Amino acid sequence: MATPSTPRPRTSTRDPEQLRARLTDWIDGWLPGATATGLTVPQSNGMSSETVLFDLLHADGRVQPCVLRLAADPDAYTVFPRYDMARQYRCMELVAAHTKAPVPRLLRLETDPAVLGAPGFLMERVDGRVPPDVMPYTYGGNWLHEASDAERAELERASVAILAELHTAPVAEAAFLRSSAAGETPLRQHVNEQRAYYAWVAAGHPASPLIERAFARLEQLWPADEGETVLSWGDARIGNVIYQGFTPAAVLDWEMAALGPRELDLGWFVFLHRFFQDLTVAFGQPGLPEFLDRQRVVAQYAQASGHTPQDLGFYTLYAALRHAVVMLRIGYRQIHFGEALVPADPDKLIMHRDTLEAMVEGRYWN
């Protein structure tokens, strides 16, 4: 991600006009007389799956705000090796059918890459606001930072409650999320998938000593009891939620969904805030140090779910490790596009290097 001293990395190599033409032809094929108007690609678009906003103008004049999610452009040095849009679509269907967690209304899935240039799906656009990543909501000048302590507390409680609600989705209906990685438990399979992802990221590049130390430390901290397996959202963070006021109105972004312990999501939820908070402090601002406190989040989740989270030291370290692999890939991506130079030490590409190192050494939460 960008910081005050670094430019925002490139997010796409797609031609907007070509995409507009493809979208128009696609819509005409299943909704004759309708057209796409006002197509925009948000500046805040991520570096993984792409988001395209437009209004669907029906033949009767009705306007339906929509969002198109497309698999990442394979020519854009993708962050992940695979983008299964049908899998994301099925996750959202499952959550909508079996939980009270809010997800956007799904409209159509397209699995043929020839139609839109990549597989993707269409959903209704939900009004509201999202805590920004660029610049992070921990910096001043955005709606969440300028909110009162009471309003942020309301958002925190409601967001943790949504996380607990997502975990009530029936695992029996989520067999499509089962991992093909080796391992006797969902957690072991999850970690083995991350090892394979790291090997893919590092192929042709120097290995990351810090990431390899973190994997070794995980083994030392491995939970004695991995607990219940649930549907794990994957990218569980407030930056993937649309809020109306301070209430969640839609849960977004399911490309990292999996099966595993509840604490996979809790560790990621807590760590991603710490990532932004530590970055903000490093640039001389106070940030939001009391927001999304780990102990309070654990207590709120226990109250909402009836499950007392365990081994958060392991799971926050694992979240920091997973994020480090993503950061390493984004760093190599910037080098690929000429946006950065190759460092002598690959660990310098990990933006939260100090945080991860402190977690590996067991001194971060102290």
- Rounded to whole angstroms, the maximal C-alpha distance in the chain is 63
User: First CA to last CA across the chain, in angstroms?
Assistant: 27
d(CA 122, CA 355) in angstroms, rounded, equals 38
Residues paired with residue 247 on neighbouring β-strands, in sequence order? 244
Question: 3-class SS at 349?
Answer: helix
C-beta separation of 53 from 39 below 8 A: yes
**Catalytic option among 73, 84, 235, 253:** 235
Is-catalytic flag, 253? no
Question: Other CB atoms closer than 10 Å to residue 149's CB: what's the count?
Answer: 10
C-beta separation of 262 from 305 below 8 A: yes
Question: 3-class SS at 298?
Answer: helix
C-beta separation of 91 from 80 below 8 A: no
C-beta separation of 102 from 248 below 8 A: yes
DSSP calls for 254-292: -TT-EEEEHHHHHHHHHHHHHHHHHHHHHTT----TTTT
What are the φ and ψ backbone dihedral angles of 202, each rounded to 5 degrees? -85, -10
Q: Residues of 209-238 as b/e, b for ≥16 C-beta within 10 angstroms?
A: ebbebbbebbeeeeeeebbebbbbbbbbbb
Which residues are annotated as catalytic?
Answer: 235
